Each structure stands twice: as structure tokens, then as C-alpha cells.
Amino acid sequence: MFGFLRRKKTPAEPEYNAPLPSASESGTVDGASAATLLPPPNESARVVTAPLVEPAAHAVQEKPKSRFWQQLSRSRNNLTEGLGNLFLGKKTLDAEILEELETRLILADVGQATTRALIKELEQQISRKQIHDPEALFEKLRELMITRLAAVQRPVSPRVHHPHVILMCGINGAGKTTTIGKLAHWFRQSGQTVMLAAGDTFRAAAVEQLMTWGARNQIPVIGEPGRGDAASVLFDAVQAARARGMEVLIADTAGRLHTQGGLMDELKKLTRVLDKAEPGAPHEVLLVLDASIGQNALNQARQFHQAVGVTGLIVTKLDGTAKGGIIFAIADELALPIEFIGIGEALDDLRPFDPTAYVDTLLDRESA
Ligand SMILES: Nc1nc2c(ncn2[C@@H]2O[C@H](COP(=O)(O)OP(=O)(O)OP(=O)(O)O)[C@@H](O)[C@H]2O)c(=O)[nH]1
Ligand SMILES: [Mg+2]
């Protein structure tokens, strides 16, 4: 069932800016809620003697929402708030519903082309009498959205090269260095050894920023402040990773605009240097895209892909934007795999991209 069809906000749902549980705490919260929902082992024996009391309606507790749910609240509210009002009390489908849906999708930055395609498909299904009521309309919308995203989902594959070399790229401030910190944490959690290469030799304090992430993850960082040549840092890092038997090497790079020809050439040079240091490297070129810049992300991605052959995307800052629909435009128009999404600045705010979880969260659909 879609939550927004029956209510605006649950009491259990904290405000967007409310303090959030830390990485370790969030596990405890989920664990605690699971424990309170499960009956004790000898529940059936006790039920026989317990008085049969009908639970009061207000005593029914909603499951606490996950951090993922909380962090995507802006996009969810943007997409569903107007629809909730529109649907209140409606039992039949009319043109107004589709029009409002179209507007909402555009406002959420799903993009003109993708929105049109979704609405057209729904219109066709309605005229073929395959959809009869608002709830069925949303079930279909959900299904269509998941299908579109599933086409670009790439399960995080086992890393076969040692070291598996990942080159990160993107424009200034997209979230590359932060994402590297989170990605390193993710690899560490999945039991792999990780090393970082401080390939942003351009921006002041970029190396120190990466070193801080290295320290937080307790992993080595190759490079030092003041070193001017990114290519030589990356070359050394590959050798160090190989010598120390590292499974994953993640290389940071300086932010650059996709329109800066000279800097894009430098990025190409970095890929050549990596290939020289380790034939076949980089095994992945991950482009970091800031979701909050909306449709501009598409053009950036095309240019980076043309220059260095992007193998996958990481879409960041989905927590800070009401335009989480950009994921659909990215999926439809770029057809590049979306590997991870960034939903905050904490160490575990990076999630492998899961189309079903993403769509259900955006559409305020309650999980079973
Ligand atoms: N809310 C939010 N903020 C993020 C996310 N990812 C990164 N940031 C923030 O975005 C800002 C820029 O992040 P950086 O990692 O320094 O970006 P960068 O691409 O390395 O920037 P340059 O090295 O200057 O090109 C920092 O304040 C990060 O904390 C995210 O998923 N959500
Ligand atoms: Mg950086």
C-alpha cells in the first residue's frame, strides 16, 4: 500500500533534520524493532491463559523508518505530497490524476522524455482497461519505474584483479573524495583490503582530506601534501598496492569541468599511466554525479564518458535534494550502470543501488 494515499506523515517518522542514529546505532535500532515485533519463543503457550484484549488502534506501533528512508525524505515529499491531496477521496481515475502525476514527475527532475514515456504507458494501460483505479495506477507506475532502473543496476561484482584499480572522476565538489572514504569503508566491510591514492594534487588540502578518510578507515594512503604530479602519485600507488597485496586501489583525482579540454586530457593521461603501471588498469572508471545539479548531470556524464570511458556511476547527495527523480533521467538517457548512491556525509551513507528499494522509498510505499 502507498503510505501517502492515507496519511501525510507518521508520528514515528522523524523530521528531515532531526538527529540521526550513527552507523552502529542504526543497526541497533533495526535490531531493537525486530525484537519488539517478534513474539517470545513460548508466546503460543501464554496466549491460552492471557485475557483476550482487543489492542487499541492508537497502540499499533509503526516500524521505525530506516536511515535510507529518512535521508530520501525531500524527494519523497516532493513527489508524493501533491498526489496525496489529489487522491484523497478519489475512487476513479480521471485526467486530473495523470496531469498531476506528470507535473510531480517533472518537478522531481525525472526529465521530460522519461516522464512522457511513463505517462504514455499509463494512459495506454488505462485505455486498454488494464488499470481501473488509482491504486492500480500506482502499482503500475511503481512497476514501470523499477523496470527502468533495473536496466542500469549492476550488482557490485567480486573484484577479480589484484589490485582492482578504480579511478574516480567528476566535476569540482561532486563528492569524489567523500565517496572514496565511504567506498573504502564499504569494501572493508565486505572483507577486502583497500589502499587510496591521493591523485588530486591540484586543490589545496585535497591530500589531507583523503588522508583523513584513510585514517577513519585505518587504511594506507599513497601521496603527500605538496606533491605536484598526479600521474607519478598514481604510478607509485599501483606499485605500492601490488607490493602490499592490496585487493582494491581507489584513486582520487582533481575536480574538473567537463568543458575544460586541458584538464580532461590530463584525466586521459592518468588512465594511460595506470595502464602502464598495471596492464588493464583502471579496471573501473567511476564518475561521481551530484544529484542536486539536476539535468546538467547528463551532459557532464556524456563528456566524461567520451573522454575516459566511464564504466559506472555513483550518484551523490540524494539526501540533500528534492530531485531524486534525476536517477530516472540518468538511467534512461545515459544507459551507464549505476553502482552506488550517496545519501549523506557519514561513513556508511553509500548504498549499492537497489531499484526496488529506491522506488518504494520515493513513492512512500510501505515495505511488506
Ligand atoms: N549531503 C551530502 N553531502 C555530500 C555527499 N557526498 C559528498 N557530500 C559533501 O559534498 C561536499 C564536497 O565533497 P567532496 O568529497 O570534497 O567533493 P569532491 O568532488 O572531492 O570535490 P573537489 O575535490 O573539490 O573536486 C562535502 O561537503 C561533502 O561532505 C552526499 O551523499 N550527501
Ligand atoms: Mg576531492
Are the C-beta atoms of 274 and 300 separated by less than 8 Å?
no
Same domain for 188 and 327, yes or no, is yes
Query: Does residue 41 fall inside a structural domain?
Result: no
Same domain for 240 and 92, yes or no, is no
**Cα–Cα–Cα angle for 4, 7, 13, nearest 5°?**
90
pLDDT tens string 304-338:
999 999 999 999 999 999 989 999 999 999 999 99
Same domain for 149 and 179, yes or no, is no
Same domain for 76 and 182, yes or no, is no
Confidence band for 72, pLDDT divided at 50, 70 and 90:
very high
The residue nearest atom 14 of ligand 1, judged by CA position, is: 175
- Ligand nearest 287 Cα, by number? 1
Same domain for 364 and 232, yes or no, is no
Same domain for 213 and 332, yes or no, is yes
Query: Does residue 242 fall inside a structural domain?
Result: yes
Residue 84's pLDDT is 67
Share of the chain above pLDDT 90, in %: 66
DSSP letters for 243-273: HTT-SEEEE------TT-HHHHHHHHHHHHH
With a Cβ cut-off of 6 Å, ligand 1 is lined by 170, 172-178, 200, 203, 206, 255, 316-317, 319-320, 342-345, 349
Q: Which residue has the higher pLDDT, 218 or 10?
A: 218
Query: Does residue 142 fall inside a structural domain?
Result: yes
Residue 260 reports pLDDT greater than 60: yes
Q: For the chain, how many structural domains are there in total?
A: 2
DSSP one-letter code for 141? H
Are the C-beta atoms of 303 and 264 separated by less than 8 Å?
yes
Query: Does residue 342 fall inside a structural domain?
Result: yes
pLDDT tens string 335-348:
999 999 999 999 99
**In angstroms, what is the C-alpha Rg of the chain?**
24
Same domain for 115 and 185, yes or no, is no
Q: What is the distance between the alpha carbons of residues 356 and 94, in angstroms, rounded to a whole number? A: 27
Same domain for 116 and 173, yes or no, is no
Of 348, 331, 288, 41, whose CA–CA distance to 166 is shortest?
288
Q: Indicate which CATH number applies to the domain containing 105.
A: 1.20.120.140
Same domain for 121 and 173, yes or no, is no
Residue length, the chain?
368
> In angstroms, what CA-CA distances link 242 with 195, 213, 275, 312?
10, 21, 14, 24
Residue 125 reports pLDDT greater than 50: yes
Domain range holding 75?
A: 1-18+64-153+354-368
